[in-house]
Amino acid sequence: MARWPAYEKVIDPDGVTTEYVRCPDPTSNLVAKSVRTRLA
């Protein structure tokens, strides 16, 4: 099984920021995804 980092942030050229946060429980496979866009 692949291990996600505890936190990862990706910013694309269009200004969309996506953050992935893995659940701190090591027995869980939950990942929260937060997407933010820049307002003009």
- Residue 28's pLDDT is 78
- Residue 1's pLDDT is 44
- Residue 15's pLDDT is 83
Query: CB–CB of 6/26 below 8 Å?
Result: no
Sign of CA dihedral 7, 4, 29, 20: positive
User: Which of 26, 35, 29 has the alpha carbon at shortest distance from 8?
Assistant: 35
pLDDT in tens, 1-40: 456 567 889 888 888 899 988 887 777 778 888 888 877 6
Provide the residue ranges of all domains of the chain, joining segments of one domain with +.
Answer: 7-37
Sign of CA dihedral 31, 32, 33, 38: negative
Is the whole model's pTM more than 0.85, yes or no?
A: no
Structure tokens of 40? 């003009």
- Residue 33's pLDDT is 87
